[in-house]
């Protein structure tokens, strides 16, 4: 270390100590921001000084002590990450818009996408590239023999290879463990690390090959065009699942309009706020209520935990989808919507038209309809699709139970319940759906079936405790306004506010200026609050990364 680094180290330790003290005293992310705003302004200043001091000294991302904080031991890069928001994204946008034509823009996007993917797991870039080369060649083979029976061989081989790779990494441990249990063997259980995004880009590869075979998409003649489609960092690791014909023209030629770039920034920041300010806060509380490791849980804690997890998973995943769609708009791509306020649904059938739309339409178009759809063996087809839907989410029996649970609900609705709900007041359907979804997320949450049973029992008072407890009441009161806001935002409130703002902005120049200023200030507040929460909090999971 150089002599002139000594005072730098001392100052760093002072700032680092202040930051650690902040983290120690900090309560749940966004709720703390709302309840302790004056303190957090001071804490935010300390944290920004901590980062900016090293940036000025040109050591922000190189000095080993700071590097641990900035890159978090090289975990996978996510959108809700300080490094992504304030280093990766600005650098990408500068390079992207400096490129003079679409080909150069595509090259920039490929390089940054592969860097994004390699950030935490460089070894799996090779697997992604193998998948892109394999299915690019398969697409060319199918296109070459498109009017011959042999073309179907390309589809079969592609599906077999892609699903086999996914199966080895995702399900081999579960399969071997099941064989050991069933046959009383002691075979070594594989423990492969799941490459991030493999479930998503595997499905995108399948849609491409099948659509080329069905003549719904033209085969890509340029390998780098296909690599761009498969590796685009916007939606690479957690969707939405984008079909090739949705973006094929934009891969070849696209432009970025100012209003779409603005809409993209808005969508990105809103998604960030949903993820960081709401999902993370809901998740921290839910985790506390749903431990089931020590003392028995009260009825209030069990119900609160499952409801808060229901909010967390919605805001976590829809927030990521919003950010992906926003980033796409900023670069001239138009991705499909993935969520349409699912919690306002009045049946499970409607819920699954609104939740993870790109996955639902994938299973509908590439499995349910080919199996026969509504024409023959409808109930069996539903059961198969929902078994696969559950299995897609993870190699654990609770995911299969969750898939079959919704499969049974949909079969019951198809058989008679939908007709009953249509005749009943709408509120009955809403209540039924919310209760059904809450129990569904309880199954989804617990990979340990014994804890799942304990939670189910606690929800109905089988622990013999009082219905409530002081600790749970205190924790809920501390985050009450945030929970209420989370419930309200589940409804299409923003659409109404946005429509009102647009109508008001058209009245006069002054109205337009006022609406624009309010919008900018609101977005700035969300970005600042999210940054404060990210700098001072270590709880920042993305739930769908593990799928």
413-446 pLDDT per residue, tens: 998 999 999 999 999 999 999 999 999 999 999 9
Catalytic annotation, pick one of 193, 259, 334, 393:
393
pLDDT tens-digit readout, 485-519: 999 999 888 778 888 888 887 787 888 888 889 88
**Res 454: pLDDT:** 87
Can you give the length of the chain in residues? Answer: 547
- Output the pLDDT for position 74: 55
- In this prediction, residue 164 carries a pLDDT of 93
DSSP label at residue 79: S
Task: Tell me how crowded residue 308 is: count the other CB atoms within 10 A of its CB.
Answer: 25
Q: What is the pLDDT along the chain (547 residues), one digit of tens a residue?
A: 444 444 444 444 444 444 434 333 434 444 444 444 444 444 444 444 444 444 444 434 433 343 334 444 457 788 888 999 999 999 999 999 999 999 999 999 999 999 999 887 788 899 999 999 999 999 999 999 988 888 899 999 999 999 999 999 898 888 888 888 888 888 888 878 888 889 999 999 999 999 999 999 999 999 999 999 999 999 888 879 999 999 999 999 999 999 999 999 999 999 999 999 999 999 999 998 888 766 678 889 999 999 999 999 999 999 999 999 999 999 999 999 999 999 999 999 999 999 999 999 999 999 999 998 888 888 889 999 999 999 999 888 999 999 999 999 999 999 899 999 999 999 999 999 999 999 999 999 998 888 899 899 888 887 666 688 888 888 899 889 999 999 999 988 877 888 888 888 778 788 888 888 988 999 999 999 999 998 877 676 666 666 6
Count CA within 13 A, CB hemisphere, residue 519: 21
**At 127, phi and psi to the nearest 5?**
-65, -40
Cite the DSSP H helix spans in 214-298: 223-231, 244-252, 258-273, 280-289
Place of tokens 């609101």: 522
Please give the model's pTM, rounded to 2 decimal places: 0.83
Rounded-to-integer distance, Cα 255 and Cα 322, Å: 21
Pull the structure tokens for residue 424: 């009943």
Radius of gyration of the chain (CA): 25
Return the SS3 of 242. coil
Burial of residue 173 (number of CB atoms within 10 Å: 0-12, 13-18, 19+):
middle
Q: Has 393 been annotated as catalytic?
A: yes
H or E element, residue 33: helix 29-35
Q: Is 392 helix (H, G, I), strand (E, B) or coil?
A: helix
Q: Are 80 and 278 within 8 A, CB to CB?
A: no
Q: Where are the domains of the chain?
A: 3-74, 89-252, 258-546
CA distance 543 to 320: 10
Distance CA 255, CA 260 (A): 10
CA torsion sign for 98, 103, 105, 109 is: negative
Say how many C-beta atoms besides its own lie within 10 A of residue 350's C-beta. Answer: 18
Q: Tell me if 269 sits within 8 A of 527, measured CB to CB.
A: yes
Question: Can you read off the two tokens belonging to residue 324?
Answer: 């992906």
């Amino acid at each position: 270390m150089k002599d002139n680094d000594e005072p730098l180290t001392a100052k760093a330790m002072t700032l680092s100590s202040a930051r650690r003290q902040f983290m120690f005293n900090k309560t749940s992310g966004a709720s703390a921001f709302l309840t302790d705003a004056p303190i957090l302004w001071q804490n935010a200043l300390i944290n920004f000084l901590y980062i900016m001091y090293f940036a000025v000294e040109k050591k922000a991302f190189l000095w080993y002590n700071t590097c641990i904080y900035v890159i978090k031991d090289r975990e996978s890069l996510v959108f809700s990450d300080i490094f992504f928001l304030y280093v990766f994204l600005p650098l990408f946008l500068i390079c992207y818009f400096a490129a003079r034509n679409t080909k150069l823009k595509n090259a920039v996007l490929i390089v940054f996408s592969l860097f994004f993917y390699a950030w935490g797991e460089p070894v799996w870039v090779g697997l992604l590239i193998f998948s892109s080369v394999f299915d690019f060649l398969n697409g060319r083979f199918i296109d070459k023999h498109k009017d011959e029976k042999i073309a179907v061989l390309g589809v079969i081989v592609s599906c077999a290879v892609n699903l086999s790779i996914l199966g080895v990494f995702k399900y081999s441990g579960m399969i071997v463990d099941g064989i050991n249990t069933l046959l009383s063997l002691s075979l070594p259980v594989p423990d492969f690390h799941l490459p991030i995004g493999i479930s998503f880009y595997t499905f995108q590869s399948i849609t491409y090959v099948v659509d080329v075979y069905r003549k719904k998409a033209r085969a890509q003649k340029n390998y780098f065009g296909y690599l761009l489609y498969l590796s685009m960092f916007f939606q690479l690791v957690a969707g939405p699942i984008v079909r090739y014909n949705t973006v094929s023209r934009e891969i070849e030629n696209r432009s970025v309009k100012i209003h779409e770039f603005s809409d993209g920034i808005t969508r990105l920041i809103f998604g960030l706020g949903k993820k960081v300010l709401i999902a993370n806060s809901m998740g921290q509380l839910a985790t506390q209520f749903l431990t089931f490791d020590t003392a028995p849980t009260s009825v209030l804690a069990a119900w609160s935990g499952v409801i808060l997890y229901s909010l967390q998973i919605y805001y976590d995943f829809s927030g990521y989808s919003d950010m992906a769609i926003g980033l796409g708009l900023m670069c001239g791509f138009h991705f499909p919507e993935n969520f349409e306020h699912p919690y306002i649904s009045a049946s499970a059938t409607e819920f699954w038209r609104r939740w993870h739309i790109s996955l639902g339409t994938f299973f509908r178009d590439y499995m349910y309809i080919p199996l026969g759809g509504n024409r023959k063996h409808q109930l069996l087809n539903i059961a198969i699709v929902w078994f696969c839907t559950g299995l897609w989410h993870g190699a654990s029996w609770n995911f299969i139970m969750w898939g079959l649970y919704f499969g049974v609900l949909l079969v019951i609705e198809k058989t008679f319940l939908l007709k009953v709900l249509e005749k009943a007041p709408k509120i009955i359907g809403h209540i039924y759906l919310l209760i059904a979804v809450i129990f569904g997320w309880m199954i989804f949450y617990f990979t340990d079936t014994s804890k799942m049973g304990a939670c189910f029992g606690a929800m109905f008072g089988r622990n013999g405790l009082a219905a409530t407890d002081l600790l749970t009441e205190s924790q809920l009161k501390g985050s009450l306004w945030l929970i209420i806001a989370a419930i309200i935002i589940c409804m299409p409130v923003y659409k109404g506010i946005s429509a009102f703002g647009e109508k008001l902005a058209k009245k006069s120049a002054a109205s337009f200026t006022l609406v624009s200023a309010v919008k900018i200030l609101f977005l700035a507040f969300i970005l600042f609050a999210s940054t404060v929460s990210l700098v001072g909090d270590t709880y920042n999971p993305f739930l769908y990364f593990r799928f």
